[in-house]
Amino acid sequence: MATRPPTFQRAFQQSYNILLPNSQDGWWTYKMYLPPLKHNQSFVSSWEYRKSLLRERIGLIDADVVCLQEVSPLSFEDDFAFMTEDLGYDGVELFKKGRFRPATFWKTDRVALVENPLHKDRTLLTSFRLIDERTKVVDEEYWHVLNCHLQAGKQGGRRVRQIIEGTNAAIKTAKKNWTKGDDPKNLRLIVCGDFNGGPECGAVQYLERGSIGPDFLEDGEQVSSKEKVLPIPPLIDILSAACIDRGGALPPATLVVPELISHMIEQGNGESAYEDPHFSEDVLDRLRRIYYKFATARISSSDQSPLMHMGKEGVEQWLTSINLRVGRGTEFRNAAKYMGWVEPSSGGSEKVNKDERPPILIPDDGILTLDNFLCIYLDELRQGKFWGIAWDLAVLGEPLPVRDVFRARYDRMYASQSLTPAAVLDTLSDEACPNQYEPSDHLPVCASFLPKSRLE
Contact 339, 367 (CB under 8 A): yes
Q: Which CATH architecture has domain 11-257+407-455?
A: 4-Layer Sandwich (3.60)
User: Rounded to an integer, what distance in angstroms lies between the CA atom of residue 67 and that of residue 70?
Assistant: 10
Per-residue pLDDT tens for 103-139?
999 999 999 999 999 999 999 999 999 998 888 888 8
In this structure, are strands 228-229 and 297-300 parallel, antiparallel, or unpaired?
Answer: unpaired
Residue 236 to residues 66, 69, 189, Cα–Cα distance (Å): 19, 21, 10
User: In 298-429, which residue ranges form alpha helices assigned H by DSSP?
Assistant: 312-323, 330-338, 370-382, 386-395
Domain regions of the chain by residue span = 11-257+407-455, 261-342+356-403
φ/ψ of 330, rounded to 5, equals: -65, -25
Q: How confident is the model at residue 5 (pLDDT cuts 50, 70, 90)?
A: very low
| CB hemisphere CA count around 439 (13 angstroms) | 23
Closest CA relative to residue 150, chosen from 198, 187, 216, 190: 198
- Spatial distance between the Cα atoms of 283 and 390, rounded to a whole number of angstroms: 10
The whole-angstrom separation of Cα 277 and Cα 204 is 26
Mean pLDDT for all residues in the chain: 91
What's the CA gap between 234 and 246, in Å, rounded? 22
pLDDT digits (tens, 9 = 90+) for 150-188: 999 889 999 999 999 999 999 999 988 776 556 777 899
Share of the chain residues as helix, strand and coil, in percent rounded to the nearest 5: 30, 20, 45
Structural contact between residues 449 and 415, judged by C-beta atoms closer than 8 angstroms:
yes
Residue 177, classed as helix, strand or coil, is coil
The per-residue pLDDT for range 405-424, each reduced to its tens digit, is 999 999 999 999 999 999 99
- Round to whole Å and give the CA distance between 231 and 116: 22
Mean pLDDT of 80-89: 98
For residue 205, give the 3-state DSSP assignment: helix
| Closest residue by Cα to residue 58 from 71, 45, 46 | 71
In the structure, what pLDDT confidence band is assigned to residue 237 with cuts at 50, 70 and 90?
very high
Please check whether residue 415 is in contact with residue 235, taking contact to mean a CB–CB distance below 8 angstroms. Answer: yes
- What is the pTM for the complete model shown? 0.91
How far apart are alpha carbons 186 and 177 in whole angstroms?
A: 12
Nearest to 82 by CA among 54, 102, 108: 54
Per-residue pLDDT band for 7 (boundaries 50, 70, 90) equals very low
